[in-house]
Chains A and B, each alone.
Chain A
């Protein structure tokens, strides 16, 4: 703690630290949703949204703290932003087609309709 104030006050490091902190919080909340939620489809929703934003913010925050690395971290963040929803959508569609049922508390269940429409 003393070491932090002895250095000169660097605004770029503080901004990167705050952005990385928000990203780490989102990563933790996404994993908590993976662990706690009752159903496959709820877990897909929690896991993909929170984790995409969290990884994007964490990688961009590291790029702000270390300015020589900024373009490469931007490439990694854009790749995560493009590829993570595609793989999650493929997994959700596969679990819907292979007949994984919804949880007991869900209100509307239209999986049979979707599977019939897919077979025709």
Chain B
């Protein structure tokens, strides 16, 4: 894969993660922050798979799969907490 295209993709995904983190710092209510974390985790899963392709390490796929499972369970727990269901 061409190096310039790789750097452009990495920069665009990095800008996306930074926008999510800015909303997480700025958001007025707790739901805004939770939604920003939800989006940021999905972006980070794709970022980790792409990073594993660049470094040619197979282990990064396992890391991203476990990260996706843990973020899903944690966000459902946060949602139940906001709903006052726990």
Contact = CB atoms under 8 A, between A and B. Distances in A.
B13 A90 contact: no
A91 B74 CA distance: 11
Interface residues of A, number: 51
SS class of chain A's interface: helix, strand, loop or mixed? helix
24 contacts: A13-B1, A23-B46, A24-B13, A27-B13, A31-B17, A40-B31, A40-B32, A43-B32, A43-B35, A43-B36, A51-B43, A58-B49, A69-B61, A73-B49, A76-B64, A83-B68, A88-B35, A88-B38, A90-B80, A91-B79, A95-B31, A95-B82, A98-B83, A98-B84
Interface of A: 1, 3-4, 13, 17, 20-21, 23-25, 27-28, 30-32, 34-35, 40, 43-44, 47-48, 51-52, 54-55, 58-59, 62, 65-66, 69, 72-73, 75-76, 79-80, 83-84, 86-88, 90-91, 93-95, 97-98, 100
B23 A35 contact: yes
A97 B35 contact: no
A116 to B, nearest CB: 16
SS class of chain B's interface: helix, strand, loop or mixed? helix
Interface residues of B, number: 47
**4 smallest beta-carbon distances between A and B, as pairs:** A95-B31, A31-B16, A90-B79, A47-B39
B11 to A, nearest CB: 10
Given A27-B13, A43-B23, A76-B49, 8 more contacts: A17-B1, A27-B12, A47-B36, A51-B39, A76-B65, A91-B78, A94-B31, A94-B79
A1 B12 CA distance: 20
